[in-house]
């Protein structure tokens, strides 16, 4: 596995939800995007949340997301997840540092032309990749089963990369 594919794997793994969610908590992606609460995420639901999130992430409303805005938005979501998690304070601090570092890496991967700005098109492209990754059976709808299959695959990939 080369560095670029590892980066892409990291981007995809963390684009939706902090990667520390255990496989049995695989519903986090569904929880985040399932607006009509039918237990699955359609592409339309996903896109609607992404549009809202891009607007929210672009804190100063100039139509671009800066690295600071990107990491800031992610950090706020991460804090919510950490607050709900059962990790010890020490583990939370570790996880926070690791995830924030990854968020910076992700921004730099997404900001292809390195001008420090992410356009909505770049953001949408990364969202489309994340959705495709989560949709394990490729039927255009992400269910909890899809998320679990994806988590298992990611965990296997991480184990391989770490060793
Ligand atoms: Ca739904
Ligand atoms: Ca901005
Ligand atoms: Ca599916």
User: Residue 64 Cα, ligand 3 centroid: separation in angstroms?
Assistant: 31
User: Residue 84 Cα, ligand 1 centroid: separation in angstroms?
Assistant: 23
β-pairing, 141-143 vs 40-42, is antiparallel
pLDDT of residue 13: 46
pLDDT of residue 135: 96
Give the confidence band of 27 by pLDDT, cuts at 50, 70, 90.
Answer: low
Global pTM reads 0.66
Question: What residue ranges do the domains of the chain occupy?
Answer: 3-162
Residue 31 CA: which ligand is closest?
Answer: 1
pLDDT tens per residue across span 30-71: 988 999 999 999 999 999 999 999 999 999 999 999 999 999
Per-residue burial over 51-72, b if 16 or more Cβ lie within 10 Å, else e, is eebbeebbeeeeebbbbebbbe
User: Residue 132 Cα, ligand 3 centroid: separation in angstroms?
Assistant: 9
User: Residue 29 Cα, ligand 3 centroid: separation in angstroms?
Assistant: 12
pLDDT of residue 24: 42
CA dist list (Å): 50 to 45, 53, 118, 133, 153: 9, 5, 14, 16, 24
Residue 131 CA: which ligand is closest?
Answer: 3
Place of tokens 């496989």: 23
User: Residue 151 Cα, ligand 3 centroid: separation in angstroms?
Assistant: 14
Residue 26 confidence (pLDDT) above 60: no
pLDDT tens per residue across span 69-116: 999 999 998 999 999 999 999 999 999 999 999 999 999 988 888 899
Residue 139 CA: which ligand is closest?
Answer: 3
Candidate from 3-17, 37-51, 73-87, 129-143 with smallest mean pLDDT: 3-17
Beta-bridge partner residues of 40: 143
Candidate from 25-29, 51-55, 65-69, 119-123 with smallest mean pLDDT: 25-29
Question: Under a CB-based contact definition with an 8 Å cutoff, are residues 147 and 21 in contact?
Answer: no
User: Residue 31 Cα, ligand 3 centroid: separation in angstroms?
Assistant: 15
């Amino acid at each position: 596995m080369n560095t670029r594919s590892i980066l892409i794997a990291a981007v995809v793994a963390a684009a939706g939800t902090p990667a520390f969610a255990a496989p049995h908590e695989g519903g986090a992606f569904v929880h985040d995007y399932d607006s009509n609460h039918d237990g699955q995420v359609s592409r339309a639901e996903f896109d609607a949340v992404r549009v809202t999130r891009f607007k929210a992430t672009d804190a100063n409303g100039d139509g671009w997301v800066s690295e600071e805005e990107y990491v800031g938005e992610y950090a706020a979501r991460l804090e919510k997840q950490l607050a709900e998690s059962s990790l010890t304070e020490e583990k939370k601090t570790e996880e926070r540092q690791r995830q924030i570092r990854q968020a910076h890496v992700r921004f730099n991967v997404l900001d292809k032309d390195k001008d420090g700005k992410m356009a909505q098109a770049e953001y949408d492209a990364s969202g489309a990749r994340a959705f495709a990754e989560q949709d394990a059976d490729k039927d255009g709808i992400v269910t909890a089963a899809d998320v679990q299959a994806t988590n298992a695959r990611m965990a296997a990939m991480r184990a391989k990369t770490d060793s």
